[in-house]
């Protein structure tokens, strides 16, 4: 009998296929003592295993490219963390085997994260994956992973580590479902980049029986277990209609009555540019520059290296708009040469612009590199600061841009509720706003954006979050300036219409989502979008907001 389950849809599309579960194994090595004379040999084994796993993660990243590469390089840094390695060697020195020392050292680090407010809880899957890879290598057993199959299937997992997600074969993996994760987890971001339908935060996903046929709707978050022929035909028909709409949609983003809404791409480096260009992106709304700084966490990249990479991206969008976010270090992106090591709660500490203002030389070099890279190019360069809290922050950033000789618009990201509430004040110092809805939801609801257990509060349809978006857009309109959205909210076609109705002036998203958003916007007038936005804000829950907007836009 058909059963319907609901998780959080994070990647558009419909997949119908048999369930295959991610391979798992208990990788807890036995606790046994070794003679003191064996300690140096065991320490050497541990170092070799760490180096091999780190090299493998980097190689996988090089193969995957784009955002996946940055994610996997960050995992490789986890494996090479000097404090973790020192802890492993200490444990071996007092009698642990290499594999047991690795297991226990990672467990201690896990506990440390939980004690720090669990801001990094969303990275626990990454941490566990690194540990399992090292332990598996030391034990000489295969690493649990994606199942072998000659037939296409729907992958089910507790969570997916980036190393597995990045190299999924979309010709075999029709879609995936996870018990954990959230809409902005690494798995969700990489699923969108791959164009694979995905649903996360589905309780009991692991209980789905191997071989059962399920249908996954990555747009609604619905899972249909053992769908009948009628349901399969309905879903297939809907998927075909979506594909036809996508094929017929082209050109700049606009509502059906001609209200322009530029559709921009989020990119993590030059490797993401071809997909953005192919999708018809009208520019870049979020150029994440962190990938440059992850190659070596002990020092910043040189002026020359930064200039070269920035120019590659700028050259790809002649006459287009490219919005660059300066380095957003701290919290879940720690860098040894910048980030305090002893913060009790990194989420609420020195991160983003705060970090850069504490290290003005790093900010100055990056701004100078951007200025140099843009010289002589017919591109509209805009540069924005992450984690702006108030007018003082905005003024400090604008001053730094001017001192570096940057001929560009300066902007502020709205990721903290105070910035949305005082947007008009901030706009006295900068020329545009860009809403990072992922962090804005996290700070509005005190709900870690990576923790599946609080995914209800990370839903960008939450009316309180829509209120903050509206406040920011209204402030920008009053000041005659622009206000875009570069968070994952923009990738939801229905929500894109609501954001447009709230007064947002541009939408930036992963390249794979641009055709969906373009096609949906083109079906509705600006007035319809405004009515949908009003209906969504009048609701009390995210689900009711979504339903209310859908009713307006479907003419119910």
Q: Give the residue numbers marked as catalytic.
A: 186, 486
Place of tokens 């609701």: 539
- For residue 35, which phi and psi values (nearest 5 degrees)? -65, 150
State whether residue 497 is helix, strand or coil. helix
Query: b or e along 194-205 (b: 16 or more beta carbons within 10 Å of the residue's beta carbon)?
Result: bbbbbbbbbeeb
Place of tokens 């680090």: 109
* Under 8 Å between Cβ of 239 and 230: no
User: Cα(170)–Cα(176) distance, rounded to whole angstroms?
Assistant: 10
Please report which residue ranges of 224-359 form alpha helices under DSSP H: 229-248, 273-278, 290-294, 303-315, 353-358
All residues at 6 or more sequence positions from 251 whose CB lies less than 8 Å from its CB, including other chains: 280, 518
State whether residue 58 is helix, strand or coil. helix
All residues at 6 or more sequence positions from 190 whose CB lies less than 8 Å from its CB, including other chains: 67, 68, 71, 162, 165, 166
CA distances from 167 to 141, 161, 180, 189, 211 (A): 21, 11, 20, 13, 23
Count the neighbouring beta carbons within 10 Å of the beta carbon of residue 149: 13
CA atoms within 13 A on the CB side of 346: 25
Which residue, 392, 324, 383, is CA-closest to 354? 392
State whether residue 434 is helix, strand or coil. strand
User: Cα(453)–Cα(471) distance, rounded to whole angstroms?
Assistant: 28
Place of tokens 């091999």: 52
Task: Determine which helix (DSSP H) or strand (DSSP E) holds 463, and give its type and residue range.
Answer: helix 463-479
Angle between helical axes of 82-93 and 39-64 (0-180°, round to 10): 150
State how beta strands 432-435 and 482-485 pair. parallel
All residues at 6 or more sequence positions from 432 whose CB lies less than 8 Å from its CB, including other chains: 382, 384, 409, 411, 412, 476, 481, 482, 483, 484
Taking CA 252 as the corner, what is the angle to CA 249 and CA 254, rounded to the nearest 5 degrees?
Answer: 85
- Distance of alpha carbon 197 from its chain centroid, rounded? 16
User: Cα(188)–Cα(375) distance, rounded to whole angstroms?
Assistant: 36
User: Cα(308)–Cα(474) distance, rounded to whole angstroms?
Assistant: 38
């Amino acid at each position: 009998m058909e059963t319907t389950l609901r998780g959080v849809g994070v990647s558009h599309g419909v997949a119908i296929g048999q369930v295959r579960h991610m391979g798992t194994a208990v990788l807890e090595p036995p606790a046994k003592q070794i003679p003191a004379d064996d300690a140096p040999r065991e320490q050497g084994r541990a170092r070799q295993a760490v180096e091999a796993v780190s090299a493998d993660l980097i190689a996988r990243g090089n193969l995957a490219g784009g955002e996946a590469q940055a994610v996997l390089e960050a995992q490789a840094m986890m494996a090479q963390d000097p404090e973790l390695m020192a802890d492993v060697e200490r444990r071996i020195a007092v009698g642990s085997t290499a594999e047991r020392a690795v297991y226990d050292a990672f467990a201690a680090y896990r506990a440390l994260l939980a004690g720090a407010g669990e801001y990094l809880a969303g990275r626990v899957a990454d941490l566990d994956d690194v540990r399992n890879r090292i332990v598996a290598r030391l034990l000489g057993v295969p690493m649990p992973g994606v199942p072998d199959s000659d037939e296409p299937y729907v992958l089910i997992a507790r969570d997916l580590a980036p190393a597995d997600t990045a190299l999924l074969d979309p010709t075999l993996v029709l879609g995936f479902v996870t018990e954990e994760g959230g809409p902005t987890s690494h798995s969700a971001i990489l699923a969108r980049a791959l164009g694979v339908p995905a649903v996360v935060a589905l309780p009991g996903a692991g209980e789905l029986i191997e071989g059962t046929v399920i249908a996954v709707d990555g747009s609604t978050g619905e899972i249909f277990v053992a769908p009948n022929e009628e349901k399969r035909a309905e879903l297939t028909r809907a998927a075909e209609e979506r594909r036809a709409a996508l094929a017929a949609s082209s050109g700049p983003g606009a509502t059906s009555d001609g209200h322009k809404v530029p559709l921009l791409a989020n990119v993590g480096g030059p490797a993401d540019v071809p997909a953005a260009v192919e999708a018809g992106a009208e520019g870049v709304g979020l150029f994440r520059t962190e990938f440059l700084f992850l190659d070596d966490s002990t020092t910043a990249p040189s002026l020359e290296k930064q200039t070269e990479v920035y120019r590659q991206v700028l050259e790809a969008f002649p006459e287009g708009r490219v919005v660059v976010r300066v380095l957003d270090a701290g919290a879940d992106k720690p860098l040894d040469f910048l980030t305090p090591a002893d913060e009790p709660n990194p989420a609420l500490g020195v991160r983003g612009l705060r970090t850069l203002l504490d290290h003005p030389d790093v900010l100055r070099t990056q701004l100078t590199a951007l200025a140099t890279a843009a010289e002589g190019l017919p591109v509209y360069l805009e540069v924005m600061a992450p984690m702006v809290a108030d007018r003082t922050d905005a003024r400090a950033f604008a001053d730094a841009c001017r001192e570096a000789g940057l001929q560009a618009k300066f902007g502020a990201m709205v990721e903290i509720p105070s910035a949305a509430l005082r947007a008009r004040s901030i706009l006295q110092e900068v020329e545009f706003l860009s809403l990072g809805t992922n962090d804005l939801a996290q700070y509005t609801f005190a709900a870690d954006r990576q923790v599946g257990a609080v995914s209800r509060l990370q839903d960008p349809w939450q009316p309180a979050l829509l209120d903050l978006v509206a406040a920011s857009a209204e402030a920008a309109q009053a000041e005659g300036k622009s206000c875009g959205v570069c968070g994952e909210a923009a990738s939801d076609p229905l929500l894109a219409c609501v954001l447009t109705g709230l007064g947002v002036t541009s939408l930036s998203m992963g390249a794979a989502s641009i055709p969906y958003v373009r096609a949906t916007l083109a079906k509705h007038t600006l007035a319809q979008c405004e009515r949908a936005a009003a209906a969504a804000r009048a609701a009390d829950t995210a689900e009711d907001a979504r339903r209310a907007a859908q009713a307006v836009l479907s003419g119910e």
